[in-house]
Copies of this chain bind each other. A is one copy, B any other.
């Protein structure tokens, strides 16, 4: 069965971005540290057009989970860092240039309608104004027999958890305390089970299944 998932780096104190995010520092103060573990992995570097990096179980795990994803859902803020009408957006085509690392349909949840954008390598951006739940349904249809990944941010993840749409997820707990910023979890409290732990000195990956009644 294809699953609806998310796979997000979080500080030990629960943040997925530091405080005071800007277009220059989209992950906020200290937030870049959340992803130090991933940018060193060979599989991530290859997908982002970079050479080298560490191979091994962590890189393989990332490659395997990424290969299973057939569609992505993300919020407007994660897509471009902007808000409001697209004409005023400093990065209307997103952060990832002409050859984005997704290689799959990406559904962007926004209040501002817009025609789809096609990029190289199989990435298409579709802009969806009917809310996160409807976007996830659309993404599931597009993903076919593959998984649908909620890329973020926290608001989209929380809406998906609240709606009971998430089947499993992984939180990569980075060894940092940010003290302030954007929290991954809100008030949603699904029942969860720990299904896998993978660790390295740089991070511990905690995978959970959402228990549905």
Q: Is A188 an interface residue (CB 8 A)?
A: yes
Give residues 161-201 of A contacting B (CB, 8 Å): 171, 173, 175-180, 183-194, 197, 199, 201
Min CB distance A37 to B, Å, is 10
A180 to B181, CA, bound (A): 17
Instruction: Determine whether the beta carbon of B194 is less than 8 Å from that of A202.
Output: yes
Instruction: Determine whether the beta carbon of B208 is less than 8 Å from that of A12.
Output: yes
A203 to B204, CA, bound (A): 13
Selected from B14, B175, B189, B194, the residue in CB contact (under 8 A) with A192 is B175
A163 to B13, CA, bound (A): 18
Q: Is A142 an interface residue (CB 8 A)?
A: no
Instruction: Determine whether the beta carbon of A208 is less than 8 Å from that of B13.
Output: no
Instruction: Determine whether the beta carbon of A178 is less than 8 Å from that of B173.
Output: no
Complex interface: chain B residues within 8 A of A176 (CB): 189, 191-192
Instruction: Determine whether the beta carbon of B197 is less than 8 Å from that of A199.
Output: yes
Q: Is A206 an interface residue (CB 8 A)?
A: yes
Instruction: Determine whether the beta carbon of B197 is less than 8 Å from that of A189.
Output: no
Closest to A171 in B: B12
A24 to B208, CA, bound (A): 31
The answer to whether A173 and B206 touch (CB under 8 A), given A179-B188, A188-B179, A197-B197, is yes
A189 to B179, CA, bound (A): 6
Instruction: Determine whether the beta carbon of A193 is less than 8 Å from that of B208.
Output: no
The answer to whether A179 and B185 touch (CB under 8 A), given A13-B14, A194-B201, A206-B204, is yes
Min CB distance A195 to B, Å, is 8
Instruction: Determine whether the beta carbon of B204 is less than 8 Å from that of A12.
Output: no
A33 to B183, CA, bound (A): 22
The answer to whether A177 and B192 touch (CB under 8 A), given A206-B12, A208-B12, is yes
Selected from B173, B177, B187, B191, the residue in CB contact (under 8 A) with A190 is B177
Given A177-B188, A197-B204, 9 additional A-B pairs, CB 8 A: A13-B183, A13-B184, A14-B183, A177-B185, A177-B192, A178-B189, A180-B187, A194-B201, A204-B206
